[in-house]
Amino acid sequence: MDSQSRPAEKPSNGDVARIFERIADVLEIQGENPYKIKAYRNAVDTLRSLDEPVWQVAEDDRLDSIPGFGDAIRAKIGDILLTGTTNLYDRVKDAVPEGVIEILNLPGIGGKTVKQLYDTLNIVSIEALEKALDEGKIAAVKGMGEKTADKIRQSIERGRRYAAGVRLNQGVDIAGNIIHNLADCPHLTQLTVAGEVRRGCDFIGVIDIVGAATDFAAALDAFTTLNQVDKIVERGDKHARCVLHSGAAVELTLSDPADFAMLLFLKTGSQAHVARVTEMAKLTKLPSDEADIYAAAGLPSIPATLRENTGEIEAAQTGKLPPLITIDDIRGDVHAHTTATDGDFSIQEMAVAAKALGYEYMAITDHSHSLAMVGGLTPDRLRAQMAEIRALGDSLGIRIFAGSEVDIKADGSLDFDDDLLAELDFVIASSHLYNNQSRDAQTKRMIKAIENPHVDLIAHPTGRIILRRDPYAVDIDALIAAAARTGTALEINAAPARLDLKDSYARRAAQAGVKIMINTDAHRIVEYDLMHYGITTAQRAWLTPADVVNTLPLAEFEAWLKR
DNA sequence: GCCGTTTTCGGCCCGACTGTTTTCAGTCG
């Protein structure tokens, strides 16, 4: 954004967040006060999770009501809303080459390392870093060695693997944004999302959008000249693929209005699904919607989330498509945090918001004391919180379960003793620490937690953070077998960065008779809305309401807890 | 940079792990 000009439209929360993120990155490389950096990163998180436009908050003079926005950050937000930039950003944005920021964003490499590489070897890009690695220069830097060099090499490899895509929520947002920006294009009569985003994949390689157009060239021009487009990778008569400034790849494919249903079908399912259905379909006329195509193949319509050729065609042929779970089946979200640990809202606020969503019950499940960085609850603090929840009773019109997200210790024992666990209504066990054990050790450790009779649910069982961290080494089938044996539920964590269990694992778990819970792990009220990502993953896992414990009415859910 | 029943300065961000050290720095959750 040009620093001199007034922004044409109001900067979005994401625009403001990006500026603060860059400020934080540069300050980190410059070795600034870590608390200052943290303050900017906090502001980034706050902006991205705000459920209304920051310009609206500013216009209403309510910025000072947002925790973490002090004098300095409020003033900078004001500058950015007015001019599109702020002095500090202008000063720092060119202080460090772009490639250095890219290195900082590689998992496993922090500000200190980046600065040292920049200062001592003038490494300003990932390519330069790789060259220095190959020449043995990195291992020779003071304070580094062969193992550090290896770690950096792995980081680059992982970063490259992760760079080629976006998370589902990002795919949904980007597609929505592009469709919105092309809504006024007179050459397009229809426009909708297809491909991996429509199928609800956890990881999106290419964001596919399909359109019906009256003038292909003009419609593609409108697409390729959008503000967010960085470069055009490919352009044909009826399609164009672009890379956006954000790095995401987007492809727009067009057809005549009459062929749109076929295009949508072709661009939605996996290649194998589309190929098989196409071969089966005996079309005698142009399909007016996708149902016509499936009907011509002698099949009922197959939901987009199932179109992977993993048995859905056979199921459709034999009338055995599962009655997939929908968001309306969910009766409670039983994984939520409060200000007692790393959440942003009180017990009451979280409960009232859950009630407003129509839930019959919810659970407060703050972290346990081993997770020191978030101020995990000590036994005394947990008992105090439990008393607070019990005192609330049914006064808020929603059943609040007193729970805990207990950390699993290195040896598989839990962070609270059995007496305390027995006092709780609901116990989640999850692993945030000690995750780099061998596959065997990690599997044994997780199974030990599953076997604890107080544990109702294992949250985010593989620990992956999509595009950031691989799942830890664990024998998932052994965990599934243990959960089936003990009656312990496994979670589909709906946070789009997790979606853990992933679809294929959740499907195997359900087939083995394991009960699933779908939870948002909300740290803020707005995060309750992430439930639909968990539902999409559950659909991809072929789950029905009967597979998912938190579809049960309150009384039955309580009975399940006492199983 | 934020925050305040410790209120305009001085805490805040703790503990484990790793790799390079031989007493500690960097990174992460």
> What pLDDT score was predicted for residue A8?
60
Digit-coded pLDDT (tens) for A55-107: 999 999 999 988 889 999 999 999 999 999 999 999 988 888 988 998 888 87
SS3 A188: strand
Strand B reaches within 7 A of the A342 CB: no
Question: Residue A1: what pLDDT?
Answer: 39
Nucleotide nearest to A27 (CA to C1'): B1
Residue of A168 and A139 predicted with greater confidence: A168
- A151 Cβ contacts chain B strand, under 7 Å: yes
pLDDT at A148 > cutoff 90: no
Average pLDDT value for residue range A477-486: 97
Q: Within 7 Å: CB of A109 and strand B?
A: yes
Distance B21 C1' – A157 CA (angstroms): 28
Computed over its alpha carbons, how large is the radius of gyration of chain A? 25
> Does position A126 have pLDDT exceeding 50, yes or no?
yes
**Angle made by CA atoms A9, A163, A158, in degrees to the nearest 5:** 150
Sheet holding A188-193, edge to edge: A188-193, A207-213, A249-255, A239-244, A229-235
Which stretches of A433-530 are DSSP H helices? 439-451, 476-486, 503-511
Find the Å distance, CA of residue A283 to C1' of nucleotide B5: 77
Does A39 contact strand B, using a CB cutoff of 7 Å? yes
User: What was the pLDDT predicted at A3?
Assistant: 39
Mean pLDDT of A471-475: 91
Question: CA–C1' distance A70–B3 (Å)?
Answer: 9
At residue A512, does pLDDT exceed 80?
yes
Q: Which band of pLDDT confidence, cut at 50, 70 and 90, is reported for residue A2?
A: very low
User: Is the per-residue pLDDT at A304 higher than 90?
Assistant: yes
Could you read off the pLDDT of A318-371 as tens digits, one per residue? 999 999 999 999 999 999 999 898 888 899 999 999 999 999 999 999 999 888
Distance CA A76 to C1' B7 in A: 24
Name the nt closest to A37 by C-alpha to C1'.
Answer: B1
CB of residue A71 closer than 7 A to nucleic acid strand B?
Answer: yes
Q: What is the pLDDT of residues A227-258, one digit of tens each?
A: 889 999 999 999 999 999 888 999 999 999 99
High-pLDDT (> 70) share of chain A, %: 99
Question: What is the phi/psi pair of residue A417, to 5°?
Answer: -80, 165
Q: Average per-residue pLDDT in chain A? A: 92
- Give distance CA A75 / C1' B17 (Å): 40
What is the C-alpha to C-alpha distance for residues A448 and A444, in angstroms, rounded to an integer?
Answer: 6
Is there a contact between A467 and A476 (Cβ–Cβ < 8 Å)? no
pLDDT of residue A521: 94
Distance A35 CA to B5 C1' (A): 25
pLDDT 10s digits, A155-211 = 888 878 777 789 999 999 999 999 999 999 999 999 999 999 999 999 999 999 999
Phi-psi region of A268 (alpha: psi -120 to 50; beta: other; left: phi over 0): alpha
Whether the pLDDT of residue A397 is over 80: the answer is yes
Task: Name the residue with the least CA to C1' distance from nucleotide B21.
Answer: A143
Give strand letter and number of the nucleotide nearest A72 (CA to C1'): B1
Q: Look at residue A486 and tell me whether its pLDDT is greater than 80.
A: yes
Where on strand B do bases come within 7 A of a protein Cβ? 1-3, 11-21, 25-29
pLDDT of residue A4: 43
